Chains A and B, each alone.
Chain A
Amino acid sequence: MIKVDGLTKRYARNVAVDHISFEVEKGQIVGFLGPNGAGKTTTMRMLTCFMPPTEGTAQVAGYDVRENPMEVKRRIGYLPETPPVYPEMEVIEYLQFVARIKGVPKAGAKKRIDEVMEKCAVSDVRTKEIGKLSKGYRQRVGLAQAILHNPDVLILDEPTAGLDPHQIIETRDLIKGLAGDHTIILSTHILPEVEQVCERVVIIAKGKLVATDTVHNLTSRLHGAESVAIEVIPNNGGGPEWTQSVLRRLEQVAGVSRVIPRDSKEGSALFTVESMQDRHIRPDLARAVIESGWHLNELHAVGLSLEEIFLELTASKDAVVKEPEAETPAAPSTPEEVAGEAQ
């Protein structure tokens, strides 16, 4: 649905976006991740035909942004970072205006506006002036504007920025609800958001593509192995000697590569256990603890959070990744597409 190839935006003195390539399949939600100033907005602006690329091409629904901007614009809904609303207009009036400039057929426009207002939960403020609405409502009006002409592709620039936690959850749910009908690219620098909402991530830093993969693959790939948090309680006594013996016992479990002691409180010991590549150590760990006569209080796998991945990837400068040749959305991507050097 979206095909970006070697997209570059150069200004007089700096390069905002440097040869970025990625693809997005129909119906996917893709998270566009990067620190502030990484070039997220610039890339989105090139996709929406707001600005022409210096080099490279981008295709939306088969149309090139340079050769066929009108066709691209017809198929894209765009919500910039600040919702593009006219404060002096009423909500319904604004949406009527947008419907006209987006070329929504007159006959169905009224019904479509009602539908969209319902979907974005702004029906109750339809006759209010937008300037008098709260930030959350304004954001939803902006979203209503973006989906009004039922575009194939939705491009959302930091859709949850500046909202309160309650509104953030509402907006995320709304976006998740839109997937399927629309292909969505959303940019953010909030990592949990990507984990919750997106199927795939495109990470960029300093204008360069750092990684592109599914959220799941990225987490497990970068981590390489499983990481397990375990809390053990002694049957009687305890103390540092006991903690040491637990540590030694855990190290003996097959497949364990490393045991890191965490803060041990009075009467319990916490460890993070890392497995070797592709080993499932949790059942064995549990058995080892029980058989030694101790109590197992807690045992759970800790995935490396996107935050850590992100820091790891964006910190190393030469972590540039090639997009794999053929990529199918169903099959999980191969680990090779993530920066191995970044580790």
Chain B
Amino acid sequence: MNTFTICRKELSSYFRSPIAYGVMGFFALITGYFFYAATFFFLQRSLMSTMQGQSIPMDVNEMVIKSVLGNVSVITLFLIPMITMRLFAEEKRSGTLELLVTSPLRDWEIILGKWLAAMILYISLLGLSLLNMLILFAYGNPDWRPMAVGYLGLILQGGALLAIGTFISTCTKNQIVAGIAGFGVCLMLWVLDWVSSFESSTLYKVIGYLSVTSHFESFIRGVIDSKDAVYYVTLTVLALFLTKQALESIRWRA
């Protein structure tokens, strides 16, 4: 109950500040462009293949949906820090954290409420990209199941990154610092994946395993791999737990 009160408050302040509109506008623009580019490429290829009289099998799922979802997963890496940066930093700066902490609320109710609000904003971003996909369903006949799995993967990945961003936001009073640090961490978790492609020693495999994006691959192929799902859920829970610890330590030190 209290969780929803906090969540509602966070959502309303998202939509009162330019953050929500900025993030949504930017996201719609970029994904719109990638969608356009992917569809355009797909059409060109299919035109070419008919002209040449070949019958290469063309797959909308493979060529459009998969490529767009792959791009979305990278774009969100940049947007997630913008969503989470203010969550605790702003409350610390303006002193409203004292109100929350001295109210009969449990720490996890506050944290979960804030994370949930960030999650709802993030999912509504994904909803925007889903609008693009609906065009494919209007004019073609793609398989919806791999797409649904892809979105599930995006939600799981987003949940984990939002939790990390929430944690980082508790560490500073400055939104911008929280944003930049969050961005750095997201970027690092993305880049780790590249490392594993250089070499195949155990160390590199472990590092590669830590990467957020490497676990997204199975989802984008339309496969729910429990190992990857577990990775995201564990990361989410761990980051939220760290947030709780950080909130407690703020109170010890403040």
Chain A residues close to B by CB (< 8 Å):
11, 45, 48-52, 70, 73-74, 76, 78, 80-89, 97-98, 100-103, 145
Contacts and interface: CB of A to CB of B under 8 A. Distances in A.
A133 to B, nearest CB: 14
B252 A52 contact: yes
A50 B96 contact: no
Interface string B87-117: 0000000111111111111100000000000
Interface stretch (B1-9, B138-146, B151-159): B1-9
16 contacts: A50-B101, A51-B254, A70-B104, A73-B102, A76-B102, A83-B95, A84-B96, A86-B9, A87-B94, A89-B12, A89-B13, A98-B103, A101-B6, A101-B99, A101-B103, A103-B104
B226 interface: no
B99 A145 contact: yes
B227 interface: no
Given A78-B102, A88-B16, A102-B104, A97 B5 contact: yes
A100 B5 contact: yes
A74 B96 contact: no
Contacts of A49: 101-102
Q: Which of B2, B9, B12, B102: most chain A Cβ within 10 A?
A: B102
B17 interface: yes
Contacts of A97: 5, 9
Contacts of A98: 99, 103
Contact of B96 (A45, A76, A86): A86
Interface in B65-104: 94-104
Contacts of A45: 98, 254
Contacts of B103: 73, 98, 101-102
Interface residues of B, number: 25
A101 B102 contact: no
B102 A48 contact: yes
Interface of B: 2, 5-6, 9, 12-13, 16-17, 94-106, 251-254
B140 to A, nearest CB: 44
A42 to B, nearest CB: 9
Contacts of B105: 101
A39 to B, nearest CB: 14
A98 B9 CA distance: 10
Contacts of B99: 78, 80, 84, 98, 101, 145
A205 to B, nearest CB: 22
Given A76-B102, A103-B104, A51 B95 contact: no
Contact of B13 (A84, A88, A101): A88
A259 B35 CA distance: 95
Given A76-B102, A78-B102, A80-B98, A52 B9 contact: no
A146 to B, nearest CB: 9
Contacts of B252: 51-52
Contacts of B16: 88
Nearest to B99: A84
B13 A52 contact: no
Q: Which of B101, B103, B254 has the most CB of A within 10 A?
A: B103
Contacts of A81: 95
Contacts of A84: 94-99
Nearest to A83: B95
Contacts of B251: 50-52
Contacts of A83: 95
Contacts of B106: 70
A55 to B, nearest CB: 14
Contacts of B13: 86, 88-89
A52 to B, nearest CB: 7
Nearest 7 interchain pairs by C-beta? A84-B99, A73-B104, A84-B96, A101-B103, A48-B102, A100-B5, A82-B95
A103 B104 CA distance: 7
B13 to A, nearest CB: 6
B117 to A, nearest CB: 13
B96 A85 contact: yes
A37 to B, nearest CB: 15
B36 to A, nearest CB: 36
B145 to A, nearest CB: 41
